[in-house]
Amino acid sequence: MKHTLSRLAADYSMFFVLLLLCLFFSLMTIDAQHPTGSEAAEDVANEIIATQGRQASVLIVAGKSREDIAFANTLARRLEASGATVLESTGSSPSQVRQNLEALADAESPLSAIACTEAISKWSVVSGAAGKYPTFGPLAVIKPQSYLFPDFLKAGNLKNVAGQSAVFAIIAIGMTLVIITAGIDLSVGSLVALSAVSATLLIRDCFGGASAGPGGMLAGAVGAIALCGLVGLLSGVMVTVFGMPPFIVTLATMSIARGLAQIFSRGQSIYQVPESFSWLATGNLLGVPNEVVVMVVLYLFAHFVMTRTTLGRWVYAVGGNREAARLSGVPVLGVLLLVYVLSGALAGVGGVMEASRLQSGSPLYGNMYELYVITAVVVGGTSLAGGEGKIFGTLIGALTIAVIRNGMNLMNIESYTQGVVMGVLILAAVLIDAGKRKGYGRRVWGSLFAFSRAR
Amino acid sequence: MDATSGENASAALLSMTGIDKSYPGVQALLGANLCLRRGEVLGLLGENGAGKSTLMKVLGGAVRPDGGSIEIDALRVTFSSPAEAAAAGIATIHQELSLVPTLSARENIFLSRRGWVRRAEEVEQTRKLLAMLGSHIDPETPCRELSVAENQVVEIAGALRERARILVMDEPTAALSVREVERLFTVIRDLQRAGMGIIYISHRLEEIFQIADRVTVLRDGENVGDYRVADITRTALIEAMVGRTLEDEFPPRNTRIGDVRLKIRDLNRGNAVRDVNVDVAAGEVLAVTGLVGSGRTEMARLIFGADLRDSGTIELDGKILRHRSPRGAIANGICLLTEDRKAEGLVLGHSMRENFGLPNLSAWSRWGMIGRSAEKSALASHIAQLRLPAGGSERPASQLSGGNQQKLILAKWLERHCEVIIFDEPTRGIDVGARYQIYELICALAKAGKVIIMISSELPEVLGMANRVLVMRGGSIVGAVSDVEHSSEEEIMQLAFSEAAGTGVQ
């Protein structure tokens, strides 16, 4: 654990950028927050008792949502416990509230306060009640206190960010290995679709569809992941045995995988999966979403492999200098093959998680994911030239991407603009990568300068 | 190129005075001076790190000096970019060629020209320039199809087109055969007669004595001497470079030769290696020499499994070895220290520790997990033994000097307990001081009974180190010299060149 922290510190600069981004989005998304549910009810009850005393008689007005019902019930219980009179009218519409108020006024019942949610307090029948029904005397409208808090930092949103980043981050582990060997894998986005389609298809057609048990779902997932590993193997064989450039090979497998996903699914979404299939995305372990747990476990394992094992050392060496590695006895072809298989299989895992999140499989999933994943890896400090890179750097990169996407959504930035921002981010990351390699940036600027002068 | 008159020939063409340059933690140059006259070849000597390349980078406009002045034809100049230096008539021929391999000779020569391409005129000019240099390459041949020597001629032609008056040549002969070196020297003498000033950097002292008029020696960024070549001896020059007196250039040979350990029979691969038979005994240093392309390196790669042999057997201590990859060769106790350390020997961007560990990981690992304390202690013991920089184990290998890089490569093989150690050009690009240490290590390994094969094109090294010399030509062994101490460079050159010398078997 101590080692892990020191690794994070080594990636200090990107980590710092990530924190700055979080701060930025927190500041930009500060908004009035209206508490709901029983928590809000406690606040309102306390306020009523403090201002009106135990003799208060209160009309509770709330909507029909689960949150509102909880609000009304808790509030009623609290008020009755402290001796106040409650005239409940849950599930009301404005006209119902008017009828209620008129009936109370006719009966000359005492009414000292209307307790309601933020939204209902804006109804004219509620806000204007004091003027319209003078028989009640001073009539207070009491609603939960709103407060300022960043949308970005709300627990629900943070969970969402973690969930969003989990899929990218897991695929990015494989991509990191590939890029460290000075390769690239463009097929991962299509493999997400292939995996999601084949997992859901296997469950639908072989393991009992919507009534499939955990074993069937597991088998479907494993089958899908293995299929993606096979596609990775195909890329790997092309790269190693036939010596073709990874860029063009994986461009081809990208097309193949997307096509297969379309063929298998006949272009349709597949949603005949059990409710519990979303367990990966919605379930949690001690409050941490399962997909985040999977992500963390995979990252710890990958970090261990890359820093402590022979295999990790070999991956770095193959990327640093392939020929020197071969002449030092590293099984270069085997390492490359394994790396592409892993990248394919991890994209498969990402696809299964995507299917779980969305409770269905579609050949359209994973569109442009390769772009986000490569960006995450490069932002995380892995050099496209190969030979260097850190697993936890990639995790920070994936979180950065997820935070930026989420932040832009919260700020209502439209998707076209988001594309531009992502592109600029990639350029910036690559420029930093180039600058880190000794003097390269300086040389680029220097020659540009010389060129402009020579003209 | 105008013929220069006698009085002009002695005027200073270039003078660099009091050049200072410091990098964080290093004083690369401290008041360095250099003076070059018209029509003169100036040898620039010094150990690696003495400041030669920094001084030349200052001259070439690639590095800005902290202080000092540069004058060309008594006019003070400052360069803020390589382009400005080129415009002032300075051209550099680097050790690594800087031509675009896919472009033709003509296109490379006219690469820096701006505006429209006037092809016919360019072809004409290229022919003229190349003819001036005594070369008849077709101007439209892509440079990747030309030999290293021909590429060099193209670079020089490019320099002439830009009307260069000062030519810096940094180790130009590193990859040339003996004949090509002779041709290059003819070209240099022609340029010299035409009034060009040439700065010639080389580790090969014989060449300095052959071609240079004067030498300037740098040590630790300062001038330590300026001599007329006619007035100085080889030993004195080396002593000036290393700053101490030298007893011997080579350690004493091991004379207790044991039984034959390595037997190679009928080794073949295409035309590169043909019917090679070699026996190496415990305790001897077997040198293999010959011209570049004679099959020496190719033979070594076959023994090491880096290339696959068409036929032939390799037998070590009576056991036939059947490896088909470097990985297999290493498992059989064979290692190769490649000629090109940077491209093939080391992962330059990785630390000393990682490079050292690469072939040895399995010895320290259990279930694929590396035992880090075993790794550390092994490295520490080799650092002490080979006098590698202490405390540098996490520094990237690229920061090591050539000598230390070679020692690091040797360390990783020693840790592997290899029995057959093949050195390919073990001291190429390594300065005089570090060379002796490499030689000592080779001799110590021979004494320990290892099988040592040393490939080298430097004849003084071959004659000074080997117990036995094999000469290769055209992929075959064409001669052997057993009585090395009474042999001469001439005898070996004779074998390397003559058509009908010797037989395949020694």
What is the DSSP secondary-structure string of A349-407?
HHHHHHHHHHTSB-TTTTTTHHHHHHHHHHHTT--TTSS---HHHHHHHHHHHHHHHHH
A321: which chain B residues are within 8 Å (Cβ-Cβ)? Answer: 343-344, 346-348
Instruction: Please judge whether B304 and A327 are an interchain contact, meaning their C-beta atoms are less than 8 angstroms apart.
Output: yes
Q: Summarize the confidence of residues B115-127 as an average pLDDT.
A: 84
Mean pLDDT for chain B overall: 85
Q: Summarize the confidence of residues B274-298 as an average pLDDT.
A: 89
The answer to whether B327 contacts chain A (CB < 8 Å) is yes
pLDDT of A441 > 60? The answer is no
For B363, which residue in chain A has the nearest alpha carbon? A310
Distance from CA of A240 to the nearest CA of B (A): 15
- Cα–Cα distance, A436 to A419 (Å, whole number): 26
Facing residue for A320 by CB, picked from B347, B365, B370: B347
Distance from CA of A169 to the nearest CA of B (A): 25
Same fold, B6-242 and B259-331+423-506: yes
The amino acid present at A104, given as its one-letter code, is: L
User: Lowest-pLDDT range, A417-431, B178-192, B243-257?
Assistant: B243-257
Split at pLDDT 50, 70, 90, the class of A435 is: low
Helix axes of B148-161 and B119-132: crossing angle, nearest 10 degrees: 110
CA distances from B362 to A35, B334, B358 (A): 61, 16, 9
Q: Which of A98, A168, A234 is nearest to A395 (CA)?
A: A168
Instruction: Please judge whether A326 and B326 are an interchain contact, meaning their C-beta atoms are less than 8 angstroms apart.
Output: yes
Distance from CA of A345 to the nearest CA of B (A): 21
Instruction: Please judge whether A328 and B326 are an interchain contact, meaning their C-beta atoms are less than 8 angstroms apart.
Output: yes
Q: Are A279 and A355 in contact (CB under 8 A)?
A: no
B325: which chain A residues are within 8 Å (Cβ-Cβ)? Answer: 326
Instruction: Please judge whether B81 and A317 are an interchain contact, meaning their C-beta atoms are less than 8 angstroms apart.
Output: no
- Residue bearing the bigger pLDDT, B203 or A403: A403
SS3 content of chain A, % helix, strand, coil (to 5): 70, 5, 25
For B80, which residue in chain A has the nearest alpha carbon? A450
Distance from CA of A324 to the nearest CA of B (A): 4
Instruction: Please judge whether A324 and B343 are an interchain contact, meaning their C-beta atoms are less than 8 angstroms apart.
Output: yes
Distance from CA of A309 to the nearest CA of B (A): 4
Distance from CA of B354 to the nearest CA of A (A): 8
- Residue bearing the bigger pLDDT, A362 or A45: A362
A388: which chain B residues are within 8 Å (Cβ-Cβ)? Answer: 349
CA distances from A317 to A362, B358, B363, B400 (A): 39, 8, 17, 18
Number of CB atoms found within 10 A of residue A111's CB:
23
Instruction: Please judge whether B370 and A453 are an interchain contact, meaning their C-beta atoms are less than 8 angstroms apart.
Output: no
Q: Are B144 and B97 in contact (CB under 8 A)?
A: no
- Cα–Cα distance, B365 to A86 (Å, whole number): 74
State the DSSP string of B269-299.
ETTTEEEEEEEEETT-EEEEEESTTSSHHHH
The answer to whether B412 contacts chain A (CB < 8 Å) is yes
Facing residue for A331 by CB, picked from B327, B347, B349: B327
Facing residue for A324 by CB, picked from B331, B346, B369: B346
The interface pTM score, or ipTM, of the predicted complex is 0.72
> Is residue A327 classed exposed, middle or buried when 0-12, 13-18 and 19+ CB atoms within 10 A define those classes?
buried
CA angle A252, A258, A259 (to 5 degrees): 90
Distance from CA of A330 to the nearest CA of B (A): 7
pLDDT of A39 > 80? The answer is no
Domain limits of chain A? 37-145, 155-441
Facing residue for B327 by CB, picked from A323, A329, A455: A329
Q: Are A138 and A112 in contact (CB under 8 A)?
A: yes
Q: Which of B250, B249, B229 is nearest to B239 (CA)?
A: B249
Q: Summarize the confidence of residues B49-73 as an average pLDDT.
A: 88
pLDDT of residue A215: 86
Pairing type for strands B197-201 and B166-170 reads parallel
A316: which chain B residues are within 8 Å (Cβ-Cβ)? Answer: 347, 350, 354
Facing residue for B370 by CB, picked from A313, A327, A449: A313
Q: What are phi and psi of A36, to 5 degrees?
A: -130, 180
HSE (CB half, 13 Å, CA atoms) of A39? 5
With tokens 């003229």, the residue in question is B128
Q: Which of A262, A253, A251, A291 is nearest to A198 (CA)?
A: A262
Facing residue for B354 by CB, picked from A313, A449, A455: A313
Instruction: Please judge whether B347 and A325 are an interchain contact, meaning their C-beta atoms are less than 8 angstroms apart.
Output: yes
Q: Summarize the confidence of residues A269-293 as an average pLDDT.
A: 82
- Cα–Cα distance, B113 to B91 (Å, whole number): 15
Residue B288 region by backbone torsions, left for phi larger than 0, else alpha for psi between -120 and 50, else beta: beta
- Best mutation target, A301, A328, A442, to test chain B (most B CBs within 10 A): A328
Structure tokens at B280: 């190496």
- Cα–Cα distance, A4 to A10 (Å, whole number): 10
pLDDT of residue A430: 76
SS3 B248: coil
Most confident of A51-60, A71-80, A426-435, B335-344: B335-344
A378 contacts: CB under 8 Å, gap ≥ 6: A179, A384, A397, A426, A429, A430, A433
Structure tokens at B148: 């290293």
- CATH of the structural domain B259-331+423-506, one choice from 1.10.3720.10, 3.30.450.20, 3.40.50.150, 3.40.50.300: 3.40.50.300
Q: Summarize the confidence of residues B447-467 as an average pLDDT.
A: 90
Instruction: Please judge whether A317 and B347 are an interchain contact, meaning their C-beta atoms are less than 8 angstroms apart.
Output: yes
pLDDT of residue A205: 86
Structure tokens at B9: 């020939």
Helical (H) or strand (E) element with A19:
helix A12-28
> Which residue blocks in B310-386 are alpha helix, DSSP H?
326-331, 352-357, 361-364, 372-386
- CATH of the structural domain A155-441, one choice from 2.60.40, 1.20.272, 1.10.3470, 2.40.50: 1.10.3470
pLDDT of A170 > 90? The answer is yes
The percent of residues above 90 in pLDDT, for chain B, comes to 29
Domain limits of chain B? 6-242, 259-331+423-506, 334-417
SS3 B314: strand
pLDDT of residue A251: 95
Considering only residues 36 to 95 of chain B, which have any Cβ-Cβ distance to chain A shorter than 8 Å? 81-83
Residue A360 region by backbone torsions, left for phi larger than 0, else alpha for psi between -120 and 50, else beta: beta
pLDDT of A449 > 80? The answer is no
A233 contacts: CB under 8 Å, gap ≥ 6: A337, A340, A341, A344
The answer to whether B350 contacts chain A (CB < 8 Å) is yes
Split at pLDDT 50, 70, 90, the class of B36 is: very high
pLDDT tens digits, one per residue of A107-143 = 777 777 788 777 777 777 777 777 777 777 777 777 7
Facing residue for A321 by CB, picked from B348, B370, B372: B348
Query: For residue A322, how far is the Cα from the chain centroid?
Result: 37
Instruction: Please judge whether B83 and A323 are an interchain contact, meaning their C-beta atoms are less than 8 angstroms apart.
Output: no
A329: which chain B residues are within 8 Å (Cβ-Cβ)? Answer: 326-327, 330-331, 358-359
Q: Summarize the confidence of residues A363-367 as an average pLDDT.
A: 91
Split at pLDDT 50, 70, 90, the class of A26 is: confident
**b (16+ CB within 10 A) / e for A269-284:** ebbbbbeebbebbbee
CA distances from A283 to A275, A277, A286, A290, B228 (A): 12, 10, 10, 6, 85
Q: Partners of B222 in the beta sheet?
A: B219
Q: Are B489 and B495 in contact (CB under 8 A)?
A: no
- Cα–Cα distance, A347 to B93 (Å, whole number): 49
Most confident of A78-87, B132-141, B277-286, B397-406: B277-286
pLDDT of residue B247: 64
Q: Summarize the confidence of residues B359-382 as an average pLDDT.
A: 85
pLDDT of A16 > 90? The answer is no
CATH topology of domain B6-242: Rossmann fold (3.40.50)
pLDDT of residue A258: 95
Distance from CA of B105 to the nearest CA of A (A): 23
The answer to whether B163 contacts chain A (CB < 8 Å) is no
A320: which chain B residues are within 8 Å (Cβ-Cβ)? Answer: 347-350
Instruction: Please judge whether A320 and B348 are an interchain contact, meaning their C-beta atoms are less than 8 angstroms apart.
Output: yes
Q: Summarize the confidence of residues B220-248 as an average pLDDT.
A: 82
pTM score = 0.75
The answer to whether B305 contacts chain A (CB < 8 Å) is no
Distance from CA of A69 to the nearest CA of B (A): 58
Instruction: Please judge whether A309 and B369 are an interchain contact, meaning their C-beta atoms are less than 8 angstroms apart.
Output: yes
Q: Summarize the confidence of residues B293-302 as an average pLDDT.
A: 89
The amino acid present at B428, given as its one-letter code, is: R
A373 contacts: CB under 8 Å, gap ≥ 6: A168, A171, A172, A175, A188, A189, A398
B335 contacts: CB under 8 Å, gap ≥ 6: B304, B329, B359, B413, B416, B418, B420, B421, B422
Instruction: Please judge whether B347 and A311 are an interchain contact, meaning their C-beta atoms are less than 8 angstroms apart.
Output: no
Instruction: Please judge whether B326 and A329 are an interchain contact, meaning their C-beta atoms are less than 8 angstroms apart.
Output: yes
Distance from CA of A250 to the nearest CA of B (A): 26
A450: which chain B residues are within 8 Å (Cβ-Cβ)? Answer: 81-83
pLDDT of B332 > 60? The answer is yes
pLDDT of B167 > 80? The answer is yes
SS3 B315: strand
Distance from CA of A370 to the nearest CA of B (A): 27
pLDDT of residue B404: 87
Distance from CA of A320 to the nearest CA of B (A): 5
Instruction: Please judge whether B368 and A331 are an interchain contact, meaning their C-beta atoms are less than 8 angstroms apart.
Output: no
Instruction: Please judge whether A327 and B82 are an interchain contact, meaning their C-beta atoms are less than 8 angstroms apart.
Output: no
Q: Are B409 and B222 in contact (CB under 8 A)?
A: no
To which CATH superfamily is domain A37-145 assigned? Response regulator (3.40.50.2300)
- Cα–Cα distance, A450 to B230 (Å, whole number): 43
Most confident of A8-17, A50-59, A203-212: A203-212
The percent of residues above 90 in pLDDT, for chain A, comes to 33
The amino acid present at A95, given as its one-letter code, is: S
User: Lowest-pLDDT range, A91-105, A199-213, A341-355, A407-421?
Assistant: A91-105
With tokens 């080799």, the residue in question is B382
B359: which chain A residues are within 8 Å (Cβ-Cβ)? Answer: 328-329
Instruction: Please judge whether A316 and B354 are an interchain contact, meaning their C-beta atoms are less than 8 angstroms apart.
Output: yes
- Residue bearing the bigger pLDDT, B326 or B176: B326
B365: which chain A residues are within 8 Å (Cβ-Cβ)? Answer: 309-310
Instruction: Please judge whether B114 and A317 are an interchain contact, meaning their C-beta atoms are less than 8 angstroms apart.
Output: no
